[in-house]
Amino acid sequence: MLKCLIPLKNNLRDRVSQRLIGLLLVLGPSLAFAELPTMEAPSRGEGSGLIETIKNYAYDGGILLGLLIALLAFLGVAWHSLTVYADVQNQRKTWKDLGAVVGIGALLVVIIIWFLTKAAAIL
């Protein structure tokens, strides 16, 4: 007699779990009281009007773009140095070639950062 009650017990448990999941899906979003973070002011301040505030945000965007350019230059030099190092290990190039690539690449990155710093002062 107990064996015939087992399917009813499982069926009841499934229905209760389905209703609980449905209730959580309906009430879940209303239980979240998270707020959006406030927008941070630009580095030069908000300015006295809308146009100045937009210019200050554009300045921050320009600085970010300059940092991305410097990052890409650094990654490009690092990637090329690694490929030359692999060629040195495979005896296709010499250590002098690797030294030249690393030296000129480091100088190139320093010049790019210097130009970007000068450009930021112009903005």
Tell me the one-letter amino acid at 15. Answer: R
- DSSP letters for 60-105: HHHHHHHHHHHHHHHHHHHHHHHHHHHHHHTTSS-HHHHHHHHHHH
Contact in structure between 98 and 85 (CB atoms under 8 Å): yes
- Using CA of residue 41, residue 47, residue 50, residue 51, what is the dihedral sign? negative
How far is 2 from 69, CA to CA, in rounded Å? 74
How far is 15 from 33, CA to CA, in rounded Å? 29
pLDDT at 112 over 90: yes
How far is 24 from 39, CA to CA, in rounded Å? 32
Instruction: State the average pLDDT over residues 72-98.
Output: 96
The reported pTM is 0.63
Query: pLDDT tens digit string along 26-42?
Result: 776 666 666 778 888 88
The band of 72, judged by pLDDT with boundaries at 50, 70 and 90, is very high
Task: Look at residue 49 in the predicted model and tell me its pLDDT.
Answer: 87
Query: pLDDT tens digit string along 8-18?
Result: 556 667 777 77
How far is 11 from 115, CA to CA, in rounded Å? 72
